[in-house]
Structure 1
Amino acid sequence: MVAPGAHGLRRAGPGEDFWQYRPAHAGDTARSIDWRRSARSDAQFVRDREAQTAQAVGLWVSAGQGMGYSGAPERPAKGSRAQLLALALGMVLLRGGEKVGLLGQPARAGRAQAARLAEGMTMAPTAEDDADAPPPEVLRPNQRLVILSDFLTDPAWVEALLARAAGLGVGGVLMQVLDPDEENFPYAGAVLFRSFSGALRHDSRDAEGLREAYLARLAARRDWLRAQAEGAGWHFGHHATDHAPAQALNWLYRVLGG
């Protein structure tokens, strides 16, 4: 599990965790001397602590029209599940003292920020096309980002985003959220496939005959996403909307600290 809240800066300063022993300097008080360590040598030593800071985490959920898809009434739309995961993750991190914000907006700590996150997600307009992408120019050094999308459209933006992230020292997670019908392609016979925006259409007389090629392309897309993420020092994961969201939330929470 990731330890939310303060994160070490790998230097001496205010904090709770031990950092290193150093020889005592002029100006160090008697209270700052570690007498047990000093007793093992002829010198006096001070026990330094590691400087810590709250981690800033940015959340981005795709608002592309394709995220509105659900293959069955009992399942949530992909966008709804992605928002649930992002909001739940944000609340857990806020509870641990992290600074969290929607990508492009200030990251803040505290209970009030949870309401801002929820409002920002629910009020975000749907994109005009099947896909959208986070703007790379809003990235800031040393952030952690969580990007949730179906990644089914042109993925060129992913490469551009990760290239900029790597240059800024930004780490993060790519999470692909799909409906189980998109995972398994259970179609047969004559099927008209169309994107939510209507920009793409394919009229198939033998949908079952497309299954093998579709699944191969989905696997190739995931391999590409994983390679891109790992090359930038990020993580890649995927989640189907018929699975419990807690499983994906636990994974996101764990790898975000890695």
Structure 2
Amino acid sequence: MAAIGEIVRRTPTPEVLSRAQARAALMPDCLVEARRLANTVIAGWHGRRKRGIGENFWQFRPYVTGESLSRIDWRRSARDDHTYVRDREWEAAHTIWLWADLSPSMMYKSALGTVSKESRALVILLALAEILARSGERIGCPGVMEPVAARNAAERLATALSHSTLADDGLPRTEMIRGSSDIVLIGDFLDPPDAVMERLGPLARRGLRGHVVEVADPAEELFPYAGRTEFTDPESGQKLTAGRAETLKDDYSRAYQARRATLADGLRHLGWSFVAHRTDRLASEALVAVHMYLSGLPALRAAEAHR
């Protein structure tokens, strides 16, 4: 009976299959836009380099007592009164897991948004995969694609997502992730912050370095509704009818911003980064911000590099 139950749980429902087909139809345009975006912003980036044992020169830095004398660059040191070490770049590929929330709430697009939240999340996801793959990183997607180190990682990821029929509950399964890695989570994160942190906390304790991108439609922030308005929950189908929607705006805005602030504060306590992004803004803004955190760059330097 347990085996039968497992089969039932893994069999995609008609709704899940329909969502997968819609996502597959969306994927080619998202991949084209992601590549355009990657080509636009990659010129100002220089990879996620760090000190290590590779062959490529990275930088000179002052010698520290206790280091091997064989690492001293005597020619550079002869130019002034200081002793310098020649650092090389770490060449071992790093594993970065990329995930986007593809649950029904991500399909939302208001008249104020340029694209749906799902479309924007996929573009950011695939653009990250494109750029990180060019830097030699290993790219994976929890439950969808095992990590690969390949120049066409973005295309592979798009194909894997097009064929995925996994039901999405708003956060990924991560039992397949081993060792120290980075994980980038892109979604709307509209669940209560406590519930989100309950899922993310164990990942941080396992050593994962996390980066969360909250994608929001401008209407979700601005609440531009007035008069009689019917609101529908895309996850549960529940409806709420407001006779004068404008009277709800202040309370809604306070609750919405409090949820975001609580989530951001909880993530900071885990040592994770948080980026809030709206679909009426340029996708490159979120892309640069995430890359900043992945690279360990200060905000000012990242902004200057992008310009």
Measured in 2, the distance between the counterparts of 1:235 and 1:202 equals 34
Equivalent residue for 2:7? none
Deviates more, 1:166-175 or 1:133-142: 133-142
Question: Matched residues in 2 for 1:187 and 1:96: separation?
Answer: 45
Change (3 A) 1:111 1:51: closer
Aligned residue for 1:53, secondary structure, equals coil
Q: Give the equivalent residue in structure 2 for 1:122.
A: 162
Q: Give, in whole Å, the separation in 1 of the partners of 2:193 and 2:150.
A: 35
Aligned to 1:166: 204
What secondary structure is seen at the aligned counterpart in 2 of 1:251?
helix
1:82 paired with 2:128, answer no
CA deviations on 1:214-238 (whole Å, 9 max, x unpaired) are 1111111111111111111111111
| Structure-2 residue corresponding to 1:22 | 68
Matches within 5 A, 1:190-209: 190-209=228-247
1:173-231 CA-partner distances (Å, limit 9, x unpaired): 11110111111000011111111244332111121111111111111111111111111
Residues 147-195 of structure 1 show CA distances to partners (whole Å, capped at 9, x for unaligned) of 0111112444531343222222211211110111111000011111111
Give, in whole Å, the separation in 1 of the partners of 2:102 and 2:132: 23
TM-score after normalising by structure 2:
0.69
Distance of aligned partners of 1:37 and 1:68 in 2 relative to their CA distance in 1, 3 Å threshold: closer
Q: Name 1:27's counterpart in structure 2.
A: none
What letter corresponds to residue 224 of structure 1 in structure 2?
T
Alignment partner of 1:248 is 2:286: yes
Specify which of 153, 168, 181 is matched with residue 113 of structure 1: 153
Q: Do 1:3 and 1:257's aligned partners in 2 also have CA atoms closer than 8 Å?
A: no
Task: Indicate conservation of the 8 Å contact 1:62/1:132, yes or no.
Answer: yes
Residues 167/207 of structure 1: CA separation in 2 closer, same or farther (3 Å cut): same
Mapped pair 1:57 → 2:57: no
Q: Which runs of 5+ in 1 are unaligned?
A: 25-31, 40-44
SS in 2 for 1:140: coil
Quick one: percent identity of the two aligned structures? Answer: 33
- Measure, in 1, the Cα distance between the counterparts of 2:98 and 2:195: 17
Is 2:49–2:90's contact at 8 Å kept on the other side of the alignment?
no
Q: Secondary structure at the match of 2:212?
A: strand
Q: Specify every segment of 5 or more residues in structure 2 that has no aligned partner in the other structure, as ranges.
A: 1-43, 79-83, 297-307
Q: C-alpha distance in 2, partners of 1:194/1:207? A: 14
Larger helix proportion, structure 1 or 2?
Answer: 2
State the alpha-carbon separation in 2 of the partners of residues 46 and 59 from structure 1.
36
- Alignment partner, residue 19 of structure 2: none
Note the alpha carbon deviations across 1:108-138, whole angstroms, 9 max, x for none. 122232211111233334747xx52212423
User: In the alignment, residue 117 of structure 2 is paired with which amino acid?
Assistant: K
TM-aligned CA deviation for residue 141 of structure 1 = 2.1
